[in-house]
Structure 1
Amino acid sequence: MSKERARRRAEREAERARAIQANEDRQARLARRRAVIGRLTPRPVRVRRPGGLLARRHRTQNVLVALGFLIVQAIAWLLWGSFFASFAVLVLSVLLVPVVVTLAFDRRI
């Protein structure tokens, strides 16, 4: 009886050793595959906006310019209901915004 138990235990241990080896082989294949894929795929570029004082000031200035532009357009549309007058104000605003920005904020666009 003890010889039979020893034989079955040896079979179980051999089966367990084969399962462990198969698992290690599978893990090694997966690691190699991930390494190859990692080398072949480009890494995503993380884009962050600048956070310094100068960048914050420029963002604030840009928001003020955009709000001013929109306010001028809204006033022109409310004052002169005609399409031609609103279009003329739009064209003039587009031409004059860079000049006003350069004069007001002392930087070039």
Structure 2
Amino acid sequence: MVSKERARRRAEREAERARQEALRAEREARLARRRERVGRVTALLPGRPVKIVSQGGIMARRRRAQNAVAAVLFLIVQVIAWLLWSSWAARFGTLVLSLLFVPLFLTLVFDRRT
């Protein structure tokens, strides 16, 4: 009875280990395919390849989130202006005013000096 239970648990562990190994192999294969794609594209580009490293700290994550919020709000304003007004002058005016007010909005709402 005990040996059957032990064998069952061992089989479960081995099945879980095999599942984890399959997931890891798939992840590595996906990464290898991505690296190969990137390599083929960068081989076509002239000059020396430049590695872009994104910052991973809490301030960098916060800045990316704030920039995403600002971009989404900008797009929402543009879509609303596009839907409300049929005049190209009004649409263009909204675009120009939005471009002028985005830095003001960022400074007032996401003051990065504090």
Decide which of 46, 55, 58 is 1:50's aligned counterpart: 55
- Bigger radius of gyration: 1
How many residue pairs match? The answer is 67
1:71 maps to 2:76: yes
Instruction: Identify the structure with bigger relative contact order (alpha carbons < 8 Å, sequence gap 6+).
Output: 2
Shift of 1:44: 5.1
Counterpart of 1:46 in 2: which secondary structure?
Answer: coil
Mind listing any 5+ residue stretches in structure 1 that lack a counterpart?
1-42
Distance 2:81 2:90 in 1: 8
Using structure 2 for the length normalisation, give the TM-score.
0.54
Other structure's SS at 1:84 match: helix
Structure 2: tracts of 5 or more residues without a match: 1-47
Label 1:44 to 1:85 Cα distance change in 2 as closer, same or farther (>3 A). closer
| TM-score where L is the length of structure 1 | 0.56
> Structure 1 residue runs of 4+, over 6 Å off?
none
